């Protein structure tokens, strides 16, 4: 009798677990940078050494909370937010919607994509910026404004959104939404096609100046874009690159190419650039991060 009851309970609990899994809403990963957040136009606003930083931290939380609100209306289940700017301790934890979890701090092995894995259904990039060398985009750069001139993978120059989207694709997860300034959204369309939904919150007139869209309008755009994007997730392909992956890192000056050559896989491609090839994208990305750290030293 005891064994029968045990088996019966196990069967019932199994059914409950299956039902719960079937009714769980989509699991969403959000990577949040700061340069593309509403209100931000200058490096002082994104640096913790500046008195302007406190206001930008709140704007950052407000932007991502607008996205979370749209996701919840669309039926999202688990939502994970990865703070992805600088020290990665920008979003005040108590200002984030309590229905989402926050990954904070650095260094992190996958940096701006820390926490992503194959259990997620969709990825969203909030507050992103354009690649280094872009005209009329707020604080354009690629990973390190003091070190990197360009990063190319298999010959294609990629902004952070592309490098990070390929990490998501490694786990077969599509990027379904991106927000930032108008030019950053245009770069997303050029890189990913018409798949991801974009939400511009400002229009840059230079590297340090922009016209902010009305605050309520900008946040409404973010909410609506998140809601639409989650509904379209099954139609949006992941951003896949083809193995093997040849990385080329072009620095701002020739001296920055010297220290990375201490790594055996890294070869000099020109006076101020190095290259290496990886069969696994994640391993290649980690080596890329190590190269940038060495160059900055």
Q: How far apart are CA 159 and CA 180, in angstroms?
A: 13
At residue 23, the pLDDT reads 56
Q: How far apart are CA 18 and CA 185, in angstroms?
A: 39
**Residue ranges of domains in the chain:** 25-141+159-235, 245-296
Residue 48 has pLDDT above 50, yes or no: yes
Q: How far apart are CA 254 and CA 243, in angstroms?
A: 28
Q: Which run of H or E residues covers position 255?
A: none
Q: Tell me the pLDDT tens digit for each residue of 140-199.
A: 999 999 999 999 999 999 999 999 999 999 999 999 999 999 999 999 999 999 899 999
The top-level CATH class assigned to 25-141+159-235 is alpha beta
Q: Tell me the pLDDT tens digit for each residue of 245-294.
A: 999 999 999 999 999 999 999 999 999 999 999 999 999 999 999 999 99
List 2, 85, 129, 141, catalytic entry: 141
Q: How far apart are CA 15 and CA 155, in angstroms?
A: 50
Q: How far apart are CA 199 and CA 181, in angstroms?
A: 8
Q: Is 269 helix (H, G, I), strand (E, B) or coil?
A: strand
Q: Superfamily assignment of 245-296 in CATH?
A: Dipeptide transport protein (3.30.1360.130)
At residue 24, the pLDDT reads 85
- Is 129 one of the catalytic residues? no
Residue 14 has pLDDT above 60, yes or no: no
Q: DSSP letter at 51?
A: T
């Amino acid at each position: 009798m005891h064994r029968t009851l045990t088996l019966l309970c196990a069967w019932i609990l199994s059914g409950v677990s299956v039902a719960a899994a079937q009714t769980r809403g989509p699991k969403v990963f959000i990577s949040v940078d700061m340069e593309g957040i509403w209100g931000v136009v200058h490096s002082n606003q994104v640096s913790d050494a500046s008195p302007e930083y406190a206001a930008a931290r709140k704007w950052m939380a407000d932007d991502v909370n607008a996205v979370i609100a749209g996701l919840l209306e669309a039926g999202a289940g688990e939502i994970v937010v990865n703070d992805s700017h600088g020290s990665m301790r920008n979003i005040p934890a108590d200002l984030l919607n309590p229905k989402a979890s926050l990954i904070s701090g650095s260094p992190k092995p996958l940096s701006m994509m820390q926490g992503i894995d194959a259990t997620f259904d969709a990825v969203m990039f909030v507050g992103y910026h354009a690649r280094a060398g872009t005209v009329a985009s707020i604080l354009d750069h690629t990973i390190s404004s003091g070190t990197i001139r360009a990063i190319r993978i298999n010959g294609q120059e990629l902004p952070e959104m592309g490098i990070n989207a390929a990490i998501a694709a490694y786990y077969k997860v599509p990027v379904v939404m991106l927000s930032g300034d108008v030019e950053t959204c245009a770069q997303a369309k050029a890189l990913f096609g018409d798949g991801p939904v974009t939400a511009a919150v400002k229009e840059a007139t230079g590297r340090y100046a922009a016209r902010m869209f009305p605050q309520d309008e900008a946040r409404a755009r973010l909410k609506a874009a998140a809601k639409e994007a989650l509904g379209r997730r099954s139609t949006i392909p992941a951003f896949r690159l083809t193995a093997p992956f040849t990385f080329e890192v072009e620095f701002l000056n020739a001296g920055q190419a010297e220290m990375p050559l201490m790594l055996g896989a890294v070869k000099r491609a020109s006076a101020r650039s190095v290259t290496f090839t990886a069969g696994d994208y994640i391993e290649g990305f980690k080596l890329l991060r190590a190269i940038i750290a060495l160059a900055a030293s």
